[in-house]
Amino acid sequence: MVNIEGSIWVFYQNCFHCDHVGESLQHLTLKITSQMLLGPVYFSFIHAKCTEQELVLLWSALLEDNPRDDPWLLAGNFNIIISEEEKRGGLPFRVDEGVELRTFMSMVGVSDAGFSGPRYTWYNYRGGHARIWKRLDKLLCNPIVALL
């Protein structure tokens, strides 16, 4: 499956059934079912734009896809950092940098699932004091995922 922008592609095996739930230029949400799962799992794949106006459109589209009472995972490049620990180098972290994402997370009841591997998923390819690292890729999930 692919979103309308063609920027997000999802490949899956025949043991899974995927139904299209919603999409935008920045995301694709699927309802995934399988005999291997206790029930449906909703998965939103994210490739966020960088401007505040475009991000507002993403949060709005994702709110429409919210399954509320079913497991929901959101994964991909959110292009936002939400804490000081997600940035190294450059100007100091400002709390207002991640306020929209934190507000969205609170509204839909998802939290960061954490990560394994490298702390930062992006850097600006500059050297010395001009180098900046950020953790832009995230996996968010609602508490229902823990019941799987």
Give the alpha-carbon dihedral of 50, 119, 7, 15, to 10 degrees.
-140
Q: What's the token pair of residue 107? A: 């509204």
For residues 8 and 45, the answer to whether their CB atoms sit within 8 Å is yes
Question: 36-58: per-residue pLDDT in tens?
Answer: 888 999 999 999 998 889 999 99
SS3 41: strand
Distance, in Å, from the CA atom of 55 to the CA atom of 104, rounded to the nearest integer, reads 11
Among candidates 45, 44, 4, 10, which has minimal Cα distance to 25?
4
Q: Give the pLDDT confidence score for residue 147 in this predicted structure.
A: 63
Write out the two tokens for 9: 């592609």
What backbone phi and psi angles, to 5 degrees, belong to 77? -90, 105
One-letter amino acid identity for 107?
A: M
109 C-beta neighbours (distance < 10 Å), count: 13
pLDDT in tens, 22-40: 999 999 999 999 998 889 9
Model's pTM, two decimal places? 0.90
